[in-house]
Amino acid sequence: MLDDTRDDTNADTGSKCSGKPEGKRKSTDASLVVDAEGRILRASAAAEKLFFAQAGALAGRQYGFHFRPGEDTDIEIMQPSGKRLTVTAHHHIVEWDGQTAVQIDIDDHVHAHPSGKSSNDLLRALVAHSPLAIIAADLSGCVTLWNFTAVQLFGHSDVEMRGQKLPENCVQYEDSLLGLFERALNGETIQGYEVTGMLGDSESLIDVEVWLTRISNARGLPGGVLLMLADITGRKKIEAHIRRVVGHDPLTGLPNRRQFHKQLQRLLHHKKHQEMMPILVMQLGLDRFRAINKSLGPLLGDQLLRDVSRRLAETLYETDLLARTGGDEFSILLRGTHHIQDAVRVAERLRQRLAEPFILGGHEIFVTASIGLSVAPDNGIDADELIRAADSAMARAKEQGGDSSQFFTPELDTQARNRLVLENALRHAIERNELFLEYQPQTDVARRTIVGVEALVRWQHPEMGLIPPASFIPLAENCGLIEDIGTWVLNAACHQLHVWDCAGLPPLRMAVNVSARQFRDSKLRDQVALALVRHHLAPERLELELTESILMRNTSDAIKMMERLKALGIALAIDDFGTGFSSLSYLAEFPVDTLKIDQSFVRGADGQIRNGPIVRAICTLAAGLGMRTIAEGVESLQQLDFLLAHRCDEVQGYLLARPMAPERLAELILNPASLWPKV
């Protein structure tokens, strides 16, 4: 089996090796010289051939077999075919390059393996012919068995690997074969573990499935680990392909129903742990698509669906999820939209975009769409419920003639549309002069005189009538109109104060409400400064009311913002005080002048004070911090008495005056007797 005809090119042996082989047998052509650690210093060409190694590949590697100078041992060499050769190795001490080494001469006599049917033979055959890469390693991780499939998988020969540490670098990513090896060594049996990105033959990345188990030595003690590896690279590729195909619609390349369902469910699950923002689902179906498809033919019909999907994708935000969930149906998850009126707006935009003609086969094709909308949590909290709700809303839209959008719940529909109408109307409210201010007096309790007014905005809509601020201020905050409205209020209030000044009224203080978004806007300070200059007002004439909840949101930033405003010389009040759970330590740091006790503590049943202890505590707290108190919502004499008794500085409420037009307020100030009730 050994190729005796091959030349031994070991011409330099004599020059380096000065020892004399001790053995009595003839030295064979196949010989190796190893150092004391078993590292191969030289291998003859015949030895390389014997071990199926490339020329020069053995030098520097571990010999891997046991050797004892002066002794002969039988060693087994596995052939690529899986056959094993047993040859005898003779060891003798030699001098090699000035150091003591061992020369190993390998007898050319090959022991024939009895072609017996012993279990050992069977096992050998099994290992040799196994389609699995079978590797054994000793306790220190050095390879003791490396079958032919392992050779093919990793591109290293049996001889190259024997005695080598398991190649750590053949694992590229998170899983280390050595880590698994350690676990197996500790007694764990690892079955079918997938390791991706191992470095395989010719540096290619491969995926393998591995089985590892600990093996015992002759004395029954842990002797090492047996590894079996199956190359699953091909299977993984097919699986990934199937996943792609299964998750996507081949016609449009969009996610399909399954994928949509999965992502929606994931979002719903994720949202459960967060604040419950509405999640909006849209089902869009093309009207009379069957007829269009029939007249166009299947090829152009497919093209139309592709064009529709492109237009839809262009119209939506990138964060939204668009899927093709049926022949002519698309599902949309609006991830960038948090208000139901915005969903109506998106639906309208999609319909408008689809209404533009499609050019197919030289013809203009017109399509319309019906859209159903559902929202979590109102219409359901899982994906099935929401999709079903959007589906049935879409069906309803189709029944009613198509070319429209509908919410699943009619009330939601009305609410969303009303809000949308309101929002659209609000956009024009300022320019159409529909906003106006009323002023509610703030009265000094001890002196019984009006010392200030609070400006309260109203919206007079030509059709909808008078709309209270509680209905449109939050809407203005959401749709970005609050800055404009806030600036208008500030200027209108300052202008009014100047008009009163010019009319000879005593100098009043003007309180103006500031909303959360306005307060966070860095332009607020400049707008205030400008309004003061423009309307010839001393800064102390203006007081800004900030709600407690605004101030508690990001306290250190809020303090900075308040300090910038205070630097203008204006006054600051905390509105609705007591409802936002101010931290008392922060309160001391807030540069505020006034605490406005929230109405909910003042207005009790039958004109009683609602929560006397809280009102008393706020008055004491404010006095301690050097702040003024003003009680809101004072409607009865009992409440007024209580506030008087507990040294509340000012009161504001229906008992004294409702918010009113500026002309009436001027009359009231000029005739204050009508204001103060007989106590």
- Point out which residues bind ligand C2E (CB under 6 A): 440, 456-457, 468-470, 473, 489, 513-515, 545, 575-576, 632-635, 652-654, 659
Cα–Cα dist 486/64, whole Å? 85
Q: Which does 565 bind (CB under 5 to 8 A by kind): Mg ion, ligand C2E, none?
A: none
Residues 6+ apart with CB under 8 A from 461: 425, 429, 434, 467
Tell me the closest approach of the beta carbon of residue 455 to Mg ion, in angstroms. Answer: 9
Q: Which does 423 bind (CB under 5 to 8 A by kind): ligand C2E, Mg ion, none?
A: none
Q: Which does 548 bind (CB under 5 to 8 A by kind): Mg ion, ligand C2E, none?
A: none
- Work out whether 650 is an interface residue with Mg ion (CB under 5 A): no
Nearer to ligand C2E, 301 or 452 (CB): 452
- Cβ proximity of 494 and 537 under 8 Å: yes
Tell me the closest approach of the beta carbon of residue 649 to ligand C2E, in angstroms. Answer: 17
Nearer to ligand C2E, 341 or 443 (CB): 443
Tell me the closest approach of the beta carbon of residue 307 to ligand C2E, in angstroms. Answer: 46
- Cβ proximity of 153 and 250 under 8 Å: no
Tell me the closest approach of the beta carbon of residue 518 to ligand C2E, in angstroms. Answer: 7
Name which of 496, 515, 502 is nearest 453 in CA terms: 496
Nearer to ligand C2E, 371 or 437 (CB): 437
Nearer to Mg ion, 108 or 438 (CB): 438
Write each residue from 180 to 219 as x if it is in contact with Mg ion (CB under 5 A), else as -, in one continuous string: ----------------------------------------
Cα–Cα dist 372/606, whole Å? 49
Tell me the closest approach of the beta carbon of residue 484 to ligand C2E, in angstroms. Answer: 12
Nearer to Mg ion, 160 or 575 (CB): 575
Tell me the closest approach of the beta carbon of residue 653 to ligand C2E, in angstroms. Answer: 3
Q: Which does 489 bind (CB under 5 to 8 A by kind): Mg ion, ligand C2E, none?
A: ligand C2E
Q: Which does 659 bind (CB under 5 to 8 A by kind): Mg ion, ligand C2E, none?
A: ligand C2E
Among 575, 595, 618, 619, binds Mg ion (CB under 5 A): 575
Tell me the closest approach of the beta carbon of residue 621 to ligand C2E, in angstroms. Answer: 19
Write each residue from 520 to 559 as x if it is in contact with Mg ion (CB under 5 A), else as -, in one continuous string: -------------------------x--------------
Tell me the closest approach of the beta carbon of residue 476 to ligand C2E, in angstroms. Answer: 8
Nearer to Mg ion, 284 or 512 (CB): 512
Q: Which does 633 bind (CB under 5 to 8 A by kind): ligand C2E, Mg ion, none?
A: ligand C2E
- Cβ proximity of 228 and 133 under 8 Å: yes
**Backbone phi, then psi, for 493, in 5-degree steps?**
-70, -45
Nearer to ligand C2E, 33 or 657 (CB): 657
Residues 6+ apart with CB under 8 A from 305: 251, 252, 324, 328
Name which of 666, 665, 661 is nearest 460 in CA terms: 661
Tell me the closest approach of the beta carbon of residue 473 to ligand C2E, in angstroms. Answer: 5
Cα–Cα dist 97/16, whole Å? 5
Residues 6+ apart with CB under 8 A from 182: none
Cα–Cα dist 640/104, whole Å? 113
Tell me the closest approach of the beta carbon of residue 441 to ligand C2E, in angstroms. Answer: 10
* Rg (alpha carbons) of the chain, rounded to whole number: 44
Nearer to ligand C2E, 420 or 456 (CB): 456
Q: Which does 255 bind (CB under 5 to 8 A by kind): ligand C2E, Mg ion, none?
A: none
- Work out whether 576 is an interface residue with Mg ion (CB under 5 A): yes
Residues 6+ apart with CB under 8 A from 14: none
Q: Which does 33 bind (CB under 5 to 8 A by kind): Mg ion, ligand C2E, none?
A: none
In DSSP notation, 264-294 reads: HHHHHHHHHTS----EEEEEEEETTHHHHHH
Q: Which does 473 bind (CB under 5 to 8 A by kind): ligand C2E, Mg ion, none?
A: ligand C2E
Nearer to Mg ion, 256 or 594 (CB): 594
Q: Which does 452 bind (CB under 5 to 8 A by kind): ligand C2E, Mg ion, none?
A: none
Looking at residue 255, the DSSP 8-state letter turns out to be B
Nearer to Mg ion, 328 or 598 (CB): 598
Inter-residue long-range contacts of 35-42, CB under 8 Å, 24+ positions, other chains counted: 35/96, 35/99, 35/101, 35/102, 36/100, 36/101, 36/102, 38/62, 38/63, 38/64, 38/67, 38/163, 39/63, 41/96, 41/97, 41/101, 42/10, 42/13, 42/16, 42/96
Residue 25 DSSP SS3:
coil
Cα–Cα dist 206/202, whole Å? 11
Tell me the closest approach of the beta carbon of residue 547 to Mg ion, in angstroms. Answer: 7
- Cβ proximity of 134 and 128 under 8 Å: no
Tell me the closest approach of the beta carbon of residue 368 to ligand C2E, in angstroms. Answer: 42
Other CB atoms within 10 Å distance of the CB of residue 211: 18
Tell me the closest approach of the beta carbon of residue 553 to ligand C2E, in angstroms. Answer: 15
Whole-Å CA distances, 116 to 121, 496, 497? 7, 114, 115
Nearer to ligand C2E, 103 or 442 (CB): 442
Among 513, 611, 629, 636, binds Mg ion (CB under 5 A): 513
Q: Which does 336 bind (CB under 5 to 8 A by kind): Mg ion, ligand C2E, none?
A: none
Q: Which does 469 bind (CB under 5 to 8 A by kind): Mg ion, ligand C2E, none?
A: ligand C2E
Cα–Cα dist 669/664, whole Å? 9
Write each residue from 107 to 146 as x if it is in contact with Mg ion (CB under 5 A), else as -, in one continuous string: ----------------------------------------
Inter-residue long-range contacts of 345-349, CB under 8 Å, 24+ positions, other chains counted: 345/420, 346/282, 346/315, 346/316, 347/282, 347/371, 347/373, 347/405, 348/405, 349/315
Nearer to ligand C2E, 278 or 633 (CB): 633
Write each residue from 593 to 612 as x if it is in contact with Mg ion (CB under 5 A), else as -, in one continuous string: --------------------
String of b and e for 550-569 (b: at least 16 CB within 10 Å)? bbbeeeeebeebbeebbeee
| Cα Dmax for the chain | 137
- Cβ proximity of 233 and 206 under 8 Å: yes
Cα–Cα dist 331/284, whole Å? 6
Cα–Cα dist 550/524, whole Å? 15
- Work out whether 639 is an interface residue with Mg ion (CB under 5 A): no
Q: Which does 107 bind (CB under 5 to 8 A by kind): ligand C2E, Mg ion, none?
A: none
Nearer to Mg ion, 57 or 451 (CB): 451
Q: Which does 440 bind (CB under 5 to 8 A by kind): Mg ion, ligand C2E, none?
A: ligand C2E
Nearer to ligand C2E, 379 or 515 (CB): 515
**Contact set with Mg ion (CB under 5 A):** 513, 545, 575-576, 632
